A and B are shown apart, each in its own frame.
Chain A
């Protein structure tokens, strides 16, 4: 640590003004001294001989003249085995270990090392002496839960390196050297199991970026069938409060077909994190049969935790996501909510007295959001493997109005927009993704043509519904009325899904194609009814039967039985006969 010490000349909220005497680096980390403790902070503006620092903690008790120690290093995270299953705060402090040390409350100024130092990892070398390697190349692996965790040449090292020495297979702790490398200029360096990386810089140790084309199934029917997400793509879920953003993210975190899920709870409720925290270890990952927690990592900076650390938390999360991507894994990053992160930017910008943009958000909001989502993607690594980071962000627009700056900036950079609607959540139609306003540029699990036909029926049904509000049911022809009922039927039995039912909550891709095809036949069938009441009664009955169908497992004999009943019901009213 450097000996460069500055003095506080101003305090306002979490912003410090500090006089410095030697060169300082923009975005370097500094520690403000307060009695026994030191408060972590980051340089965010430099003017003359004064730097402005945002403090990642409560600033109560700081005084003019207080000492601030500059470190010369950017805000960085530790990358190494042992990250998975952990719960970190925005600055990568492990919260459970913090609780052991400090009890119920988050005492400011207590920083722990992210990874446990005394744990031993079984290392297997993957290179031999004399090999040539570059940044990101695998030197060996250690098992971390169900994964082979690659120990890689630090991403920041430039040029080619010759392996001078590599450790034998065996147990090593994090800080033990497992390889010695020589650069082209003859400089020698040690590699350990852990490396550090500055969070605001993307990791780019890969061969090329690819276009996201492969669907990522979430087992949420309306997403996979109608508005799919792609591996390495980006999507956003904007919605007013109470529309079910977080529940939807939680469902996705359970069922998404990826290797690793990173949950960044950014400025949201602590209770929601606790649910993930306490439930995931109990839940089984259907892909591996192991606990869901083994593939999960939580970065949690809830709404009452210091706001500057909230800004850092999404970067901490995406950096760790990129790190696992470098191992050829598929990672999903769920950021809930990016609006809180944007608000953190706004708070700091306000304290810096910058000229405000729209709704007082800083003018650079858009570029910051774009840069964040751009850190997702599919990449081909130097060894030919493919890894991806999929980013899903929720947006909490003020007043539920999507015209606000954060939603609009986000829409420009994502490939799928899953807009939640207050109207649908009021009607308890969950997930409340709006079936007409949402969009996706990615391919889904059913043929595009079929999805388009279904969307047409939904749109027509909606039109009839609007019309009926004006001309009444009696002014609507029975044909139109049946279209409306069909749309309502599709909505009730396919778009809506009961997140709390063990079977209905998750529909795999195969079952989706199967069910969707069956429903397609029903929707296409020309149906004939004596009057509207008969039509309504028929669809009510059919809806109930189909919902029962959704609630049984596909290999249950009941499944085929209900399907037959449905076919029979439809045949009875079919116009063909």
Chain B
């Protein structure tokens, strides 16, 4: 512990200040007092007696004689049930009108879980969205980003999954969130009565950049504590690209050698350290992470989505308001979709293969080629698939969605054309199909959609 107050700052560059001090520990916190007010700062480099700190509130307005007092401990946050229903900033200060919490402080960014204490995830998270439930099933303890272009409804999608998923605690980490979006989340959670089981850590676009860096760590540290108390926790992070950009900013200020488009060489490790907090504990709760990652210029090879894709257990592509079947992937789906219904995997593969065929046919059509009989079938199928499966307004349980899949296949194809194994055809292919063409089914569909849109 070091109670000395330093007031000679030698260097201010961006959000990083450097001064001479001794007895300082790596990653320790300090309090910087300037005419702008007090701010926390974290030690990010020690070189001899020169100490570099990143100032949470930013470097603007810091005089060279600002008072710096080292606190002797790393970044911490309070953990208790009292967090539920509260909103905090990226550095853990209350953003609502509630009191500051100081009891039971826990360290953030702690060590990773011993792989030997993890178990194979085995519980499906039902979302009511067929593109997820059938085709890329979400699994408890999964880490999954939503790749999307700015402007896509990724925040409403996150909110909807959070509300429909059966979890005990929801933790929202907002990074560079628009104030409107922050209010949207809070209001949605409140309206649906979920705020009481939620904790929000929100850094808005107007807040200092460095606080953005803290958001995932603080969210996940809190999530970890809940999970150790046997709770199933869902962490929503939006938007991780802002987090990566904040890291880039600090790295460049620190004159680190950039690796790819200005991002630091450890981008992968930094992202992984956060995403890997997703876990299903052996004999305790779990953490599931859903994170929005906006792709600058719709480019999936951009370093942030690219590195993310290598870390996470799949990804959802959100494009034109729909979850794209191509590219979207849940790596854990195989853990659960064998146990749902016998036809689940088959429907999943067959419908996508045929949809891929539809896409090819569309290409041919756009080039003005004659459509074969097969092409015409695919065209009918593809359009129905987009309307009745892909549309985000469709909100039906998995089993209903599977039945709908069979109905669509039967309406559009002969059994052999689907390539489905004969055994399953015998079991699931709608028998009455040949006699009752479309009328009955159409009615059923209208009914289902009416139910869906009323949800």
Q: Contacts A104-B228, A473-B364 known; A95 to B116 CB distance under 8 Å? A: yes
Which of B26, B264, B309 is within 8 Å of A63, CB to CB? B26
Can you list 26 residue pairs at the A/B interface with Cβ under 8 Å? A8-B46, A9-B48, A10-B48, A11-B46, A62-B46, A63-B23, A87-B116, A104-B114, A105-B111, A267-B269, A270-B276, A273-B115, A303-B268, A303-B272, A304-B112, A360-B260, A360-B265, A361-B259, A398-B303, A398-B306, A399-B301, A400-B306, A469-B363, A469-B364, A474-B369, A547-B421
Among A192-200, A322-330, A345-353, the one that faces the other chain is A345-353
Tell me the bound Cα distance from A492 to B259 in angstroms: 41
CB <8 Å contact, A350 and B259? yes
B47 at the interface (CB under 8 A from A): yes
B153 at the interface (CB under 8 A from A): no
List A contacts of B277 (CB < 8 A). 304
**Complex interface residues of chain A between 532 and 554 (CB less than 8 A to chain B):** 532-533, 536-537, 540-541, 543-544, 547-548, 551
- A490-525 vs B, Cβ < 8 Å mask (1 yes, 0 no): 001000000010000000000000000000000000
A378 CB to nearest B CB, Å: 32
Among A53-61, A118-126, A156-164, A454-462, the one that faces the other chain is A53-61
CB <8 Å contact, A347 and B114? no
Taking A99-B114, A304-B273 as known contacts, 12 extra A-B pairs with beta carbons closer than 8 A to each other, sorted by chain A number, are A10-B47, A12-B46, A60-B27, A63-B25, A103-B114, A267-B268, A270-B115, A271-B332, A277-B116, A359-B260, A541-B416, A544-B419
Tell me the bound Cα distance from A98 to B422 in angstroms: 50
List B contacts of A400 (CB < 8 A). 301, 306
Q: Contacts A63-B24, A95-B114, A269-B313 known; A303 to B276 CB distance under 8 Å? A: yes
Most interface-central of B257, B327, B370, B372 (chain A CB within 10 A)? B257
Among B81-89, B117-125, B237-245, the one that faces the other chain is B117-125
CB <8 Å contact, A473 and B120? no
**Complex interface residues of chain B between 259 and 287 (CB less than 8 A to chain A):** 259-260, 264-266, 268-269, 272-273, 275-277, 279, 281, 284
Q: Contacts A398-B301, A500-B334 known; A533 to B373 CB distance under 8 Å? A: yes
CB <8 Å contact, A271 and B374? no
Tell me the bound Cα distance from A398 to B24 in angstroms: 38
Which of A11, A108, A346 is within 8 Å of B111, CB to CB? A108
Which of A242, A350, A401, A427 is within 8 Å of B315, CB to CB? A242
Q: Contacts A105-B111, A271-B332, A302-B112 known; A347 to B314 CB distance under 8 Å? A: no
CB <8 Å contact, A98 and B116? yes
Task: Identify the closest chain A residue to B259 (Cβ).
Answer: A360
- A61-104 vs B, Cβ < 8 Å mask (1 yes, 0 no): 11111000000000000000000000100000001101100111
CB <8 Å contact, B49 and A64? yes
B311 at the interface (CB under 8 A from A): yes
CB <8 Å contact, B306 and A399? yes
B206 at the interface (CB under 8 A from A): no
List A contacts of B309 (CB < 8 A). 240-242
Per CB-CB distance, the 3 closest pairs between chain A and chain B, nearest first, are A399-B301, A472-B369, A303-B272
Tell me the bound Cα distance from A368 to B24 in angstroms: 37
Tell me the bound Cα distance from A98 to B117 in angstroms: 10
Which of A12, A340, A360, A398 is within 8 Å of B258, CB to CB? A360
CB <8 Å contact, A278 and B269? no
Tell me the bound Cα distance from A401 to B349 in angstroms: 27
Which of A12, A105, A361, A472 is within 8 Å of B113, CB to CB? A105
> Could you tell me which A residues sit within 8 Å of B by CB distance?
8-13, 17, 58-65, 87, 95-96, 98-99, 102-108, 240-242, 267, 269-271, 273-275, 277-279, 300, 302-305, 307, 337, 340, 343-344, 346-347, 349-350, 353, 356, 359-361, 396, 398-401, 426-428, 469-470, 472-474, 492, 500, 532-533, 536-537, 540-541, 543-544, 547-548, 551
A13 CB to nearest B CB, Å: 7
B420 CB to nearest A CB, Å: 8
CB <8 Å contact, A540 and B417? yes
- B153-174 vs A, Cβ < 8 Å mask (1 yes, 0 no): 0000000000000000000000
List A contacts of B276 (CB < 8 A). 269-270, 302-304
Tell me the bound Cα distance from A242 to B310 in angstroms: 8
Task: Identify the closest chain A residue to B353 (Cβ).
Answer: A428
A68 CB to nearest B CB, Å: 14
List B contacts of A356 (CB < 8 A). 257, 259
Which of A63, A275, A428, A472 is within 8 Å of B367, CB to CB? A472
List A contacts of B311 (CB < 8 A). 269, 303
> Could you tell me which B residues sit within 8 Å of A by CB distance?
22-28, 45-49, 74, 109-121, 141, 228, 256-260, 264-266, 268-269, 272-273, 275-277, 279, 281, 284, 300-303, 306-307, 309-311, 313-315, 326-327, 329, 331-332, 334, 338, 345, 349, 352-353, 356, 363-364, 367-370, 372-374, 416-417, 419-422
Task: Identify the closest chain B residue to A10 (Cβ).
Answer: B47
CB <8 Å contact, B259 and A359? yes
List A contacts of B258 (CB < 8 A). 360
List A contacts of B265 (CB < 8 A). 343, 346-347, 349-350, 360
A407 CB to nearest B CB, Å: 14
A9 CB to nearest B CB, Å: 6
CB <8 Å contact, B46 and A106? no
CB <8 Å contact, B369 and A473? yes
Tell me the bound Cα distance from A308 to B303 in angstroms: 22
B29 CB to nearest A CB, Å: 11
A425 CB to nearest B CB, Å: 8
Tell me the bound Cα distance from A98 to B416 in angstroms: 54
Which of B275, B315, B419 is within 8 Å of A543, CB to CB? B419
List B contacts of A278 (CB < 8 A). 119-120
B313 CB to nearest A CB, Å: 6
CB <8 Å contact, B24 and A270? no
Tell me the bound Cα distance from A472 to B273 in angstroms: 50
List B contacts of A359 (CB < 8 A). 259-260
Task: Identify the closest chain A residue to B278 (Cβ).
Answer: A271
Task: Identify the closest chain B residue to A58 (Cβ).
Answer: B111
Tell me the bound Cα distance from A512 to B335 in angstroms: 29
Tell me the bound Cα distance from A546 to B332 in angstroms: 29
List A contacts of B310 (CB < 8 A). 241, 337, 396
